[in-house]
Structure formats: structure tokens, C-alpha cells
Amino acid sequence: MLSFQPHRKQLLGPLVALVLIAAASGAAIYFIPSDFEYALHARVGAGVLAVILMTIWSFVPYLQWTNTAYTLTTHRFTASNGVLSKSIDEIPIAKVNTVSSDQSFVERLLGSGTLTIESAGEHGRLAFRDIPKIQDVRAELFRLTEEAAGEDDASDPEHADPEHADPEHSDAEHNDAGPADRAGHADVLAGAGDAKGAGGGGDADERPDGRVP
């Protein structure tokens, strides 16, 4: 089983936003004149605004990242995400048709990319962004897909080798022959025996000189 989260580069934007908001709010609070009549209210307002912006641009994206997970097993690929509400997509390995990956230049340097899976089920085509070690994940998913396809072919009766047919099945078919078939077979054997007996009798009555008495 392989479990992983999106690449950490998703946290770069929220981290930059956190630093900028903290710096801007700190500067605003510091540079508000102390002799200003509403200095206290202005500082409180700047602090509240900073918290709101940090929540929207930093804390929420971080929670989304921590609550997004991918799991790859021998039977299915599962993607789950959501903070308050949760969404889960499950793709059976046996129904996967195509696995592809896309990487930009920066993503190639970071080892991440977008993984696209096309399946024969109701999901159709799904794309998952910022997959870490995407080439390893793609190779593992492709290997599991081939193994699942091989197991399906082996279990399909149409692909079974007729030379390795079950002998008990053949014996059962022989024993399932009806009474009429067995009776007809017995009559054939009896007729062959009578014909052989008649031929043998003729040879016994023939004289050495070739004349029949």
C-alpha cells in the first residue's frame, strides 16, 4: 500500500501570504501615531483584518493540504479531500484504462506533476495535481493495472487451455449420457460380435480343398 499527500509546494503560496500579511499588519500597527484619537481602534482593526486574511489565504489552504490524501493499493486508487465536508473518489485498479502524467519545467525539478487516470467506470477521467514523485507513482499504478489485467485473463473461462481441461468434468459428461445412448452403443457392440461369429463359422466349415460340404 502506498499513501501520500500532495507535494509540499502547495504550501509555498500560503506561507508567502502569511509572511506578507504579518509584516503588513505589524507595520500598520507600528506606524499608527500614538496621539491619534482612534489609534487603539485602528490597531485593533488592523489586527482583526490581518487574522481574517491569514485565515483565508494561509490557514484554510494549509488545512486543505493536510486533509488531502491519496492511497494506492492492489485493488483501488483512493483520493480523499475536504475540511468540513469530505469527498472520496475510488477507482478500481481493474477498470483503469490509461495512466498519464504532465510536468512543467519547475515540476520536473521538484519531482511533482499532474496524474491523469482514465477508467471504464463512472468516474471517467480524473486529474490529480501536485502528485509527489509522480513518475514512481505512475509506474506503480501501471504495474498494478497490468497485474489486474493478467488476473482477469487467467480467470476468464474463454481463455482457458483446452488441453488442461478438468478430467472430472469429462468423466461427468461421459456418465451423463442417457440410457438410449448406452443402449445404442450396446447394440452396436452386439452386432459387431454376431458378424465376427458368423465369419468365424464360415471359415470352420470350409474343407482344406476349398470346397464347402
* pLDDT, tens only, 7-28: 999 999 999 999 999 999 999 9
Q: What is the reported pTM?
A: 0.66
Distance between CA atoms of 149 and 194, rounded to whole angstroms? 60
Looking at per-residue pLDDT, the higher value among 208 and 69 belongs to: 69
| 50 touches 24 (CB < 8 A) | yes
**What's CA 181's distance to the chain center, in Å?**
51
What fold characterizes domain 71-157?
A: PH-domain like (2.30.29)
How does pLDDT run across 125-143, given as a tens digit for each residue? 899 999 999 999 999 999 9
Ordered DSSP codes for 10-66: GGHHHHHHHHHHHHHHHHHHHHS-TT-TTHHHHHHHHHHHHHHHHIIIIIHHHHHHH
Q: What is the pLDDT of residue 187?
A: 53
